[in-house]
Structure 1
Amino acid sequence: MSKHTKYSNRSIQKQQGAVAIIVAICLTLLVGMLGLVLDLGHLYVAKTELQNAADSASLSGAKELNGRVTGITSAVARAIEAAGKNNYDLNSNPVVINASNIWVGSCPSDGCMVPISSVTTDALAGDKTFVKVDTGLRSLNTWFIQVLPSIASTTQTFGMAVAGKYKVDITPVAICELPDPGTTHEFGYERGVSYKVSEANPIGPGTMFWIDPESNVPGVCPATSTNATLPYVCTGKTGFTPVAGGTVNTNTGISVPQLSALDSRFGDYTPQNNCDPATAPPDVNVKEYRYNNAGVGAPRDWMGTDPNKQTIQFVQRANVNNLCSQPSRPCMSKPYGLRTATDYGVLWSGFRRSGATVGQWPALYSGNTATSYPEPSPYSQGSGNFFTAPPVATQPGKAGRRVLNMVIVDCTTAGGVCRPAPVLAVGRFLMQRRSNVPGDRDIFVEFGGLLPTPLPTSDIKLYR
């Protein structure tokens, strides 16, 4: 009996020792797992903090890109500033970056990116529309996970983001470069002079070039149909940034629904154009400046010689004494030295030659004069005879909606469907009147000069 009791006590002691070992092992594993959870949570929070810094830095930098070195410089400053407003490691350390953490490119992919410090000229900056920010690896001290053997005492993480332009303020209509008219001009266009878009081309009157609003990759045209382009024509935006020296894909033809979509700027909303006033509001001034209007506020109210046409006279390139009115006859605006007052259409409805004054009209426009010209321009008026508010039923107007940013292209290779054309510049053109007018469907615009910076404004979004 005594032997049996002695044996049982030893067995119990051994079992208690084994349980203690198991409990110790389990506690170690549990503490390790708890440490793993806590340290992974710490890593996740730090990753999120760094990612937020990269996101804000890339968005802030991309907004500054304007196609010039000045924009590159501003992008660096704004990105660094935006990143510095963020902290990481549970909000305990500021995120500090410098130019070495920033890249720019012509597309959001790494293959398009170059270090931002390498962009030192306007020529190099011209096509840079995307900013990439990488915060670099940041070390974090681990907490409880260090109880496990062979586990590092620190971990690392980073934030990376790419932001760039989309929904660029470019109306998907191309206008062709014109021959030198013999006076001050920009790619053949004179400020304050109006043009009929379908005549400004090398093919002949009646032809217009639209551009694919979704792609500038040569031969890749996902939006060539009328229905596909209407939303872009309504809003006056494209899904990419046309830059001088690049290309756009041109499509030939005039579509009544597309012309109607342009007229949303005058408060016209029909099932034909399918424009939404919320995204395509009218202009704040929808007054039309038609050459043949007889009422108050018409062009004849400020032009000494009543205009007898809407735009400048176009003539044949081969023979400037012949009007350009036949298909397959390349057109050009009548040379400056051959013009008379009646060769001009509606002048100065929104723009004028740089620095020009009303008193210079007789010298500038072959004897024409300006009478009762409303400074600074008829289109800029906010009341009176030269102003008309948008229809009450539509959304509130948006200033400048009638000013179309249009690409000026070399049209010698354009025509047909999905034909690449070189981009020469982006110009500002004021719509003087509606386009979808029965019997005279076309786009009539007044040239206001090239954009002050090569890259038009646009919305900015994160790409990755």
Structure 2
Amino acid sequence: MKQLQHLPGRRTQRGAVAIIVALSLAVLIGFAGLALDGGRLYVNKTELQNASDACALAASFELTGAPNIPAGRFPIAEDSGKLVATRNRVGFQAGTIAAADVTVQFGTALNSGAWLSAASIPPAASKYVRCTIAETGITPWFMQVLGFGNQTVRAQATATLAPSQNSCTAIPIGMCSQGAAPTFGLVRGQWYNGGLNNADSLSGSFNWIDFSPPSGGASELSAALLGSGACTVAPGTSVGATGAIQSLRKAWNTRFGIYEPSIPANNPNSPVPDRSGYSYTPFNWPSQSNAANDLLNVKRPVNAPYGTNVANGNTITGLDVKPAGSTVLQPTALATRGADRRFVTAPVVNCAAFASAQTVPVLDWACILMLHPMTNENTQTIYLEFEGFTKDSGSPCASVGGVGSSASTGPLVPALVQ
């Protein structure tokens, strides 16, 4: 029988399929890596960018006062930014962001100059804050087969304070205009008084204001004082006068860390106090002007309270705050739970016009300092310190809301700029 013979060259082609498959697998893994590993890195980048944006916005909220930002504001801004950043998640929301991965820096100009950490003592004019977050050690699913090692993803955001379309931290106090625009006769650093509890509610330099006349009332005003304030109040909005409402004393005093027995003082839902409850009256601050510098640079950095208790605080201020059994938060609690609650936004209105009209338009927005708590006396005089207008560069008041244009006149709000 004739034997079969192999054709020439057939032996040399054995194994070619395996080589082709191997090469094809490398290409397929490469495409899979681009799609899956690349997509994974993109998702991580997006999550980090969201965290960076939130960090920068939270930190910039604390940078009030430029070009003279107190040195103590920078550590607070850094802590606020890092806290908000670490509340975000990465890796398809499965992983956490460590505070050590968050870098917060401050600068005087957006595109030039040095960027310094809070520990490096930035200049007082450092109105820009930049947050950078890095996520390291991301192991590729497929690309490591092709020799790619662990990957690092970074995100960065820069924010500052800019004029808003409207106000969102306004308390229900109307500052009475004392003259014509643009200053309305108001002097920065000067104290103004009003009898909030007096029968004649139109006397003095300010009055309770209803932001939603005529439906507003004591409960609405109290909620604004206990919470973050009234929102969506644009310049030109008509507001009404509510008269004297003594019941607002309880809500007002929480901003000084004073909680009457009917208001919880030590649970997660308690009203937020300021970082300092130290108070100023003609009794302990006879100049009746420029108390803001002392609060910002002396009392807030050490979280000075109203007093060790109500009675002790009354000896400091000369007030008669009651009841004696009220809870007064001390430095540790003020440091951990406090916020910027005494530099507040208030509308400037023509109080004289209330004599012939139920509502008047908001002329501008004032930044005021709440100087002291209220008593339950029917004839108490309340003092506030005027800190300029909220749209002014260097205003210690910061609000929240929609960022406006260069022509906007609303309070300063955190705004992303890069």
| TM-score, with structure 1 as normaliser | 0.43
Compare CA radii of gyration and give the structure with the larger one: 1
